[in-house]
Structure 1
Amino acid sequence: MGDSAQFTDVLYASLQLFVLELPASGDTGPYPVPLEIARFAAPGVTFYALVEALRLLFAAEAQRLRARRARGHVVICGDGPMATSLSRQLRATGHRVVQIAESRVESSGRRAPLQVLGDARNPDVLRAAGVAHASALYACTEDSATNTAIALAAGRRDRGERPLAVYAQVQDPELCLALQARHLGTSEPPAIRLDFFNIDDLAARHLLAKEPIIPPLDRPPRFLVVGATTFGRAIMVEIARQWRVLAPAGMWRVEVAVVDDAATSVIDELTFRYPFLSKACELTPYDENLLAMLAEKTAPEAPDRVFICYEDEQLALKTALIADRLWQGGRGSVIVRQDQLATLQTAFDGARDERIFDEVSGTLRLFGVVDAACAPGLIRDDLGERLARVIHESYLVARQRRGEGPDEAPSIVSWGRLPDRLKQENRAQAADIGRKLRAIGCVLAPRVAAGGEHTLTSPELTLLASMEHERWLAARLRDGWQFAEERDDARMLHPAIRGWADLPDNIRAVNADAIRELPSMLADSGFRIVRMRKGS
């Protein structure tokens, strides 16, 4: 380049070499102003893009490093509505979140989750998310098989300083039940605390817990379930569970009308799967569409609460808006299952400047199943925890039947008042179900179709009761308990600290009662005991 070259030419040539790696051209100008701007803009934009790429790369690596070094955090796998809502709710309650997704998830704010890009089934990606030191992992992609594979990969992780709880979302409720049965039936303690959950089942439990049944004084409660979908079925089961606890002995059954093209067959399936359903509810099927049913003279009386459960959100909303005969139950009595359209609720009952629809006196309520199911405490209340509560409730009934009260044992109290140590004993008993069943050649199966349910024989009851005592005894001895004729929990003394053969009959009876109630406890959760073929 000659001495007459302008300063701008020298600068431009330098940019070419540094950014574009191109030799300077022999044309030294002068150039028109637009071209002068353009020739500097081109390498300038390239340089900016390079700097931005490096910034993003270093930011991603910094996030991966922070995620790998995290302790006691929660790992969420997925980038769909479930993962997004769960991440938001966990962060709102003060949890540190690391999210694994295939692509970057938009998030901002001080509590924005750390992100790791990749396939959560890959052990290297899980390590990058610091799963070895996490407290919990939620696998909630849109694919159930992927979530199950993530749970398997998490179980193979390097052991950290804390146990890992893994919760895997499963779309199909029957598959969810089958996977729970297989996990509950394991004869060895698993490496992780694992549970499978279904969104509609969680949402139904959330709804009935927040808005429990209020019994009328002079008649049974009346409910109408429109659409026997997964959510509709879960609603029926939760109504029965709650009413079974609320209703005094000899009180009427709650009335539940079910409107669906397959209502009769659905009721038959559900009452087989959950035997308590027909004991708590009077179920009436209407195998037709809602408007046809409402036009008939045999239509049920006005319900106290209506659940419109169609998976098609627009159909559910349309049904709620045109079936005016359902609007007689009072405020919030017509509950419409929604997901993406749940945000429309403010259009009915929001502030004055947000409301654009008549609220029908507050009758309609759009219920967002995803947000409801994402309550972290609800997901953590897994199958093992629920079985532990049922085991304790059965124990209470048996002891109270003998006329015993809290004075005889500190364990004769409600679950909420039970000391943590005794709660843990019930959890350990639930986790030991698979080992006991294996000892008598049996396994768990979901109650999804008619089949050969095994009835425990008297020798089997005795064997399983002795196994339960020996398990309990080993745990107490590890904790330092000793034998004494009189029980003293403060000094860790107990009259049952001895072998099964040396136990008095009244203590043996406690273990026998627990085993005798096992089939019904499992049936309440949708399982049954089946005998395997000899030698299998």
Structure 2
Amino acid sequence: MRVSDGGFGDPRRAPTANVLRLLFAAIGVVSVVFGYFGLREYAPDGQSLSGSPLDLLYYDLQLFVLGSPPLDEGGPYPVLLDIARFSAPAFTVYAFVEAGRALFATELRRWRIRRSRDHVIVCGDGMVASTLTRRLRAAGEKVVTVPSGAVTGTGSGAVPTDAGPDALRVAGAARDPDVLRAAGIDRARALYACTDDSAGNTAIALSAARRGRRTPLCVYAQVADPELCLALQARHLGLAEPPGARVDFFNIDDLAARKLFVQEPLVAVRGGPPRVVILGATAFGRAVLAELARRWRVREPHGPNQVPVALVDDEATTTAAQLTHRYPFLSRVCRIIPYDGGLPELLNDDRFALPPDRVFICYDDEERALKTALTAEQLWHGGPGSVVVRLDRLASLRAAFDHERGDHLLDDLSGALRLYGVVHAACDPALIGDDLVERLARVIHESYLMSRRRHGEQPEANPALVPWEDLPEPLRRTNRDQAKDIGRKLRELGCALSPRVGPGEEHSLAESEIERLAILEHQRWLSARVAAGWRYAEDRDDDRLLHPAVRAWDHLHDDMRERNHDAIRELPAILADAGFRIVRVGDA
């Protein structure tokens, strides 16, 4: 069975501190007992103290403050009392030392946080936040956490945590500027808002992004609803002047689906596309369908055959229609066969040939998902890792099926079964960092490649005609800047971005609008190039910073103008790839 990486469960703390505390607690109890009975035996000047138990207890407790009136008469003392008059003050000294150490440690942690640089702040203490924190620390990052329980609290300050001596927490409401300042936001490298409240995460992200800083900050906010996440991304991308901070909203199911197909891409079977079954049109199921289509389109851009996909859910037909509307490329890449119902409807219908090559069991009910995987033998014939089961709480069960370990307890169906921990897969800092701007920049570059190849250009004449992975960083930055500028251009036309959720009228760019936006794009590109030291020359020379397009629009060659026109014509398709459309909201 194919399993994802480990990472569930923190390492146990060293027991030294707890043992020491238990030892001194025992000394305290022994001091009270020995002191009481010792005072009963002690009788200065022949007067017994055993007549009043409350007096004995009172004198006994005074041993802890380095003095008790009956002992002022001097010895000799009974053995028990002699032990107690030394052990009780020792316990008191230890208590003072512990209190001072705790106070000093709190102040030290607060000072360390305020003086930290390039650290990461994680807000929340649920499964997402704790998993992300472990992954960040495993990667060597300095992490400061703001627990979910403290998000609605007041005040601020560094408090200890159970994750080890280097783990730091800051109590208080994370959207409060004072709490963010206590967490070292002015020197932090990134902030992740991962509480269970999507609205709270958005407020935290916006509060962090509004702070003026000299160094760039990356802010990521978790949003549980994928459609709300898409809408927030649209509103942020649609800004005419984006803030200095890099802000993105992420959804766990979308990230996990992306990671899944990076690890296990679809491959051709019997010379054609694989047959796929998706059980459950949940958020993860919808993300799986969109991502497999996106990946297959890149793999087979001119493939004549669609991927047959059986979508099984009570609302399968409705969901299929919604997804093909949201992602227009979906209907070109996949032949979706919806089954309104459950697995029996699929097994009793001959529209989809069984057995499938890949199965994704995406139910939110984890027990139902696992039960389906272990009882539906008709789905077990796709080979190693072909049956993927979405899990969260039960993801630790994968060790029981892992035949690569010697202590496996359950059969993994000859390797076909793969238990997939969605939260653990999605909590990859690198994956979260691959934000919307980065993805749009990649699609912009891919569109540019196809456009230039249609015009017959070769990589020898244009160093930008290489895959994104091989593209030099300055050229990647150019594509990112182009993606960030989309909101400003659309605002010039009285348009805005809208998520492709539900019916709506999409605005088609007229030729005059394409011309206007092409001029704006060239002006943006020209300003950036001139600022970087580029100059005009008839022949391009990247080493000497020479380019034939470094001149005003009116003086550009026709082919250079056409490149800008092509980039604007492709804009609706680029946005549709991410689930957006252009809509008119006002006058130009």
TM-score, reference length from structure 1: 0.91
| 1:197 correspondence with 2:250 | yes
Match of 2:198 in 1: 144
Match of 2:310 in 1: 257
Give the distance between the partners of 1:441 and 1:325, measured in 2 at CA. Answer: 54
Match of 1:65 in 2: 111
Match of 2:101 in 1: 55
Give the distance between the partners of 1:483 and 1:59, measured in 2 at CA. Answer: 61
Give the distance between the partners of 2:237 and 2:421, measured in 1 at CA. Answer: 30
| Native 8 Å contact 2:401 2:409 kept in 1 | yes
- Give the RMSD, CA atoms, in angstroms: 3.1
- Tell me the SS of whatever aligns to 1:256: strand
Match of 1:174 in 2: 227
Match of 1:153 in 2: 207
Match of 2:122 in 1: 76
Q: Give the superposition deviation at 1:313.
A: 1.0
Unaligned runs of 5+ in 1: none
- Identical residues among aligned pairs (%): 58
- Tell me the SS of whatever aligns to 1:131: coil
Give the distance between the partners of 1:72 and 1:261, measured in 2 at CA. Answer: 48
Give the distance between the partners of 1:211 and 1:19, measured in 2 at CA. Answer: 68
Give the distance between the partners of 2:255 and 2:115, measured in 1 at CA. Answer: 32
Query: Within 5 Å, which residues of 2 pair with 1:303-452?
Result: 303-350=356-403, 354-452=407-505
Give the distance between the partners of 1:61 and 1:317, measured in 2 at CA. Answer: 48
| Native 8 Å contact 1:78 1:141 kept in 2 | yes
Query: Within 5 Å, which residues of 2 pair with 1:460-475?
Result: 460-475=513-528
User: Which is worse superposed, 384-393 or 240-249?
Assistant: 240-249
| Native 8 Å contact 2:278 2:285 kept in 1 | yes
Q: What are the Cα deviations for residues 318-341 of structure 1, in whole angstroms up to 9, with x where unaligned?
A: 111111211111222111000111
Give the distance between the partners of 2:351 and 2:522, measured in 1 at CA. Answer: 56
User: Given the alignment, which residue of 114, 137, 162 partners 1:106?
Assistant: 162
| Native 8 Å contact 2:223 2:250 kept in 1 | yes
Give the distance between the partners of 2:551 and 2:406, measured in 1 at CA. Answer: 72
- Tell me the SS of whatever aligns to 1:116: strand
Q: Give the superposition deviation at 1:105.
A: 4.4
| Native 8 Å contact 2:337 2:352 kept in 1 | no
- Tell me the SS of whatever aligns to 1:361: coil
Match of 1:91 in 2: 137
The letter of the residue matching 2:475 is: L
Give the distance between the partners of 2:279 and 2:419, measured in 1 at CA. Answer: 14
| Native 8 Å contact 1:79 1:105 kept in 2 | no
User: Which is worse superposed, 427-436 or 89-98?
Assistant: 89-98
| Native 8 Å contact 2:370 2:389 kept in 1 | yes
Q: Give the superposition deviation at 1:434.
A: 0.4
Q: What are the Cα deviations for residues 384-404 of structure 1, in whole angstroms up to 9, with x where unaligned?
A: 000011111111111111101
The letter of the residue matching 1:305 is: R
Q: Give the superposition deviation at 1:119.
A: 2.3
- Tell me the SS of whatever aligns to 2:414: helix
Structure 1 residues 36 and 165 mapped into 2: Cα distance closer, same or farther (>3 Å)?
A: same
Q: Give the superposition deviation at 1:453.
A: 0.6
Give the distance between the partners of 2:301 and 2:174, measured in 1 at CA. Answer: 49
The letter of the residue matching 1:519 is: P
Structure 1 residues 44 and 433 mapped into 2: Cα distance closer, same or farther (>3 Å)?
A: same
Give the distance between the partners of 1:57 and 1:486, measured in 2 at CA. Answer: 68
Q: Give the superposition deviation at 1:408.
A: 2.3
Q: What are the Cα deviations for residues 291-319 of structure 1, in whole angstroms up to 9, with x where unaligned?
A: 34324455542111111001111111111
The letter of the residue matching 1:472 is: W
| Native 8 Å contact 1:77 1:120 kept in 2 | yes
Structure number with greater Rg is 2
Structure 1's consecutive aligned runs of 4 or more residues displaced over 3 angstroms after TM superposition are 2-6, 9-20, 22-54, 102-105, 295-300, 350-353
Give the distance between the partners of 1:266 and 1:30, measured in 2 at CA. Answer: 90
Structure 1 residues 298 and 108 mapped into 2: Cα distance closer, same or farther (>3 Å)?
A: same
Q: What are the Cα deviations for residues 81-109 of structure 1, in whole angstroms up to 9, with x where unaligned?
A: 11111111122222222222246642137
Q: Give the superposition deviation at 1:254.
A: 0.7
Give the distance between the partners of 2:458 and 2:485, measured in 1 at CA. Answer: 27
Give the distance between the partners of 1:290 and 1:173, measured in 2 at CA. Answer: 25
Q: Give the superposition deviation at 1:49.
A: 5.1
Give the distance between the partners of 2:98 and 2:407, measured in 1 at CA. Answer: 40
Q: Give the superposition deviation at 1:532.
A: 0.7
The letter of the residue matching 1:190 is: P
| 1:232 correspondence with 2:232 | no
User: Which is worse superposed, 82-91 or 25-34?
Assistant: 25-34
Q: Give the superposition deviation at 1:118.
A: 2.6
Structure 1 residues 128 and 303 mapped into 2: Cα distance closer, same or farther (>3 Å)?
A: same
Give the distance between the partners of 2:202 and 2:78, measured in 1 at CA. Answer: 64
User: Which is worse superposed, 468-477 or 241-250?
Assistant: 241-250
| 1:504 correspondence with 2:557 | yes
Give the distance between the partners of 2:467 and 2:404, measured in 1 at CA. Answer: 42
Q: Give the superposition deviation at 1:407.
A: 2.5
Give the distance between the partners of 2:374 and 2:531, measured in 1 at CA. Answer: 63
- Tell me the SS of whatever aligns to 1:360: coil
User: Which is worse superposed, 362-371 or 52-61?
Assistant: 52-61
TM-score, reference length from structure 2: 0.83
Unaligned runs of 5+ in 2: 1-42, 49-54, 151-159
| 1:215 correspondence with 2:268 | yes
Structure 1 residues 187 and 27 mapped into 2: Cα distance closer, same or farther (>3 Å)?
A: same
The letter of the residue matching 1:159 is: R
| Native 8 Å contact 1:337 1:368 kept in 2 | yes
User: Which is worse superposed, 411-420 or 178-187?
Assistant: 411-420
Give the distance between the partners of 1:435 and 1:414, measured in 2 at CA. Answer: 28
Give the distance between the partners of 1:63 and 1:30, measured in 2 at CA. Answer: 49
Give the distance between the partners of 1:447 and 1:455, measured in 2 at CA. Answer: 15
Structure 1 residues 158 and 15 mapped into 2: Cα distance closer, same or farther (>3 Å)?
A: farther
Q: Give the superposition deviation at 1:47.
A: 6.6
Q: What are the Cα deviations for residues 22-56 of structure 1, in whole angstroms up to 9, with x where unaligned?
A: 99699999999999989998887777555434433
